[in-house]
């Protein structure tokens, strides 16, 4: 895949000096690199949207199965109420999953989900499931996200010609993935429950969720304290840091509802395959743990052994966390794994620190 710039520059390259020819070649190479990276970003974005489309549709179906269609007023659909139940979980996939779990606990305790709903509480005019999927799935306005500084040509070509490489990329991406059209957003009324109604048997579930969140916060605080102590000593106790980090990772996995065992040296072990719905929770747990240890290590990067320890932990995380392309995201976060311009994988530690090489280009 390549964007040809001949139509922009015409035949001028045949009569100008070698310096400008070299600049044109570098501009063409730059255009090709931008297109390649934009294509990767676009494919990832489309895959994310397709995954979320499927997850939201499945959740809405589960919620609609709890709606009593005999009580749905004329001009409404069961999907209106399924969307209302989805919104009760704060309108996010994770929140909806949590709220669906609470509803299931309510049913197991003998409660009726259908009889909770006040069917006169919302008036939407009646919509189908697809309309609500489009409301709850975040869609990128554009599949091309190139920093402004990269849009122009290189060297003399960049100075002499007003070239916008992004425009060519946008055209190519539109041809490959389809042109983006804005999603129509509509106002959604808040679903109400019948007066005096409440979910049964969820207090223990909510308490367990709160306990797991508190445990993770405490583990992160312990890790921060461990790294601060090592900085004061001027040397790193690898076993102590690993132990504290494993505690953070274990509690992050528990918070994501991943069943774990504690293996040798406190390392959490689990059996979740890549195609399992819970695998995304594993990835988030490793990403969060790596971010946490990196942020807390920033003030002690000069302590002997600190960078080596971070590299070891990042290498472990790389088995689960997919490195991002900074040119496609436009943002780099401390503790994130990124693909460098030479194809290697690095751990980003902020603009004031050199990234740590985790894996060289193969």
Q: Which of 8-17, 83-92, 118-127, 150-159 has the highest mean pLDDT?
A: 83-92
**Can you give the pLDDT at residue 3?**
47
Give residue 55's domain range.
Answer: 6-177
| Mean pLDDT, residues 297-316 | 92
Q: Which of 29-38, 42-51, 176-185, 250-259 has the highest mean pLDDT?
A: 250-259
Judgement on whether residues 25 and 171 belong to the same structural domain of the protein: yes
**Can you give the pLDDT at residue 8?**
43
- pLDDT tens digits for range 148-171: 555 555 555 555 556 666 677 777
State the number of CA atoms in the 13 A half-sphere of 114 facing the CB: 10
**Can you give the pLDDT at residue 113?**
82
Judgement on whether residues 209 and 343 belong to the same structural domain of the protein: yes
**Can you give the pLDDT at residue 56?**
92
Judgement on whether residues 75 and 124 belong to the same structural domain of the protein: yes
Judgement on whether residues 163 and 207 belong to the same structural domain of the protein: no
| Mean pLDDT, residues 229-246 | 89
Q: Quickly state the pLDDT bin for 1 (edges 50, 70, 90).
A: very low
**With the CA atoms of 273, 283, 83 and 133 taken in that order, what torsion angle do they form, in degrees rounded to the nearest 10?**
-80
| Mean pLDDT, residues 213-236 | 90
Judgement on whether residues 166 and 108 belong to the same structural domain of the protein: yes
**Can you give the pLDDT at residue 91?**
82
Judgement on whether residues 167 and 232 belong to the same structural domain of the protein: no
Distance of CA 198 to the CA centre of its chain: 33
**Can you give the pLDDT at residue 7?**
43
Through-space distance between the first and last CA atoms of the chain, rounded to whole angstroms: 22
Q: Quickly state the pLDDT bin for 64 (edges 50, 70, 90).
A: very high
Neighbour-count burial of 233, counting CB atoms closer than 10 A to its CB (0-12 exposed, 13-18 middle, 19+ buried): exposed
Buried b or exposed e, range 244-275, using 16+ CB within 10 angstroms: bbbbbbbbbbbbbebebeeeeeebbeeebeee
Judgement on whether residues 173 and 277 belong to the same structural domain of the protein: no
d(CA 103, CA 137): 22
Domain count, the chain: 2
For the full predicted model, state whether its pTM sits above 0.85.
Answer: no
Judgement on whether residues 34 and 158 belong to the same structural domain of the protein: yes
Judgement on whether residues 123 and 228 belong to the same structural domain of the protein: no
- Asked if residue 1 is part of any domain, the answer here is no
Judgement on whether residues 233 and 159 belong to the same structural domain of the protein: no
**Can you give the pLDDT at residue 145?**
65
pLDDT for 219 beyond 90 = yes
Degrees, nearest 5: CA angle 80-82-85: 115
Judgement on whether residues 230 and 107 belong to the same structural domain of the protein: no
């Amino acid at each position: 895949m390549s964007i040809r710039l001949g139509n922009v520059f015409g035949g001028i390259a045949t009569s100008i000096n070698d310096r400008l020819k070299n600049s044109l070649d570098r501009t063409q190479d730059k255009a090709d690199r931008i297109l390649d990276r934009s294509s990767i970003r676009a494919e990832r974005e489309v895959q994310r949207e397709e995954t979320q489309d499927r997850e939201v549709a499945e959740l809405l179906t589960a919620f609609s199965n709890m709606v009593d269609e005999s009580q749905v007023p004329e001009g409404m659909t069961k999907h209106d109420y399924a969307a209302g139940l989805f919104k009760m979980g704060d309108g996010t996939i994770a929140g909806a999953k949590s709220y669906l779990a609470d509803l299931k606990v309510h049913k197991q305790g003998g409660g009726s989900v259908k009889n909770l709903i006040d069917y006169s509480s919302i008036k939407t005019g009646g919509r189908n499931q697809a309309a609500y999927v489009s409301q709850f799935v975040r869609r990128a306005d554009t599949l091309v996200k190139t920093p402004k500084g990269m849009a122009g040509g290189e060297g003399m070509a960049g100075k002499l010609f007003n070239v916008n490489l992004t425009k060519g990329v946008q055209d190519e991406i539109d041809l490959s993935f389809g042109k983006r059209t804005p999603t129509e957003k509509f106002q959604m009324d808040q679903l109400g429950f019948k007066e005096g109604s409440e979910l049964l048997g969820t207090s223990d579930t909510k308490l367990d969720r709160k306990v797991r969140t508190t445990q993770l916060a405490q583990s992160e605080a312990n890790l921060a304290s461990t790294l601060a102590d090592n900085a004061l000593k001027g040397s790193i106790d690898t076993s102590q840091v690993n132990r504290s980090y494993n505690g953070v990772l274990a509690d992050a996995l528990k918070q994501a509802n991943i069943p774990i065992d504690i293996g040798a040296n406190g390392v959490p072990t689990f059996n979740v395959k890549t195609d399992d719905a819970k695998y995304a929770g594993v990835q988030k747990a490793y990403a969060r743990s790596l971010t946490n240890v990196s942020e807390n290590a920033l003030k002690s990067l000069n302590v002997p052994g600190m960078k080596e320890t971070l590299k070891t932990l990042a290498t472990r995380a790389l088995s689960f966390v997919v490195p991002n392309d900074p040119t496609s995201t436009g943002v780099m976060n401390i503790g994130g794994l990124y693909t460098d311009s030479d194809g290697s994988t690095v751990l980003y530690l902020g603009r004031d620190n050199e990234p740590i090489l985790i894996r060289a280009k193969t």
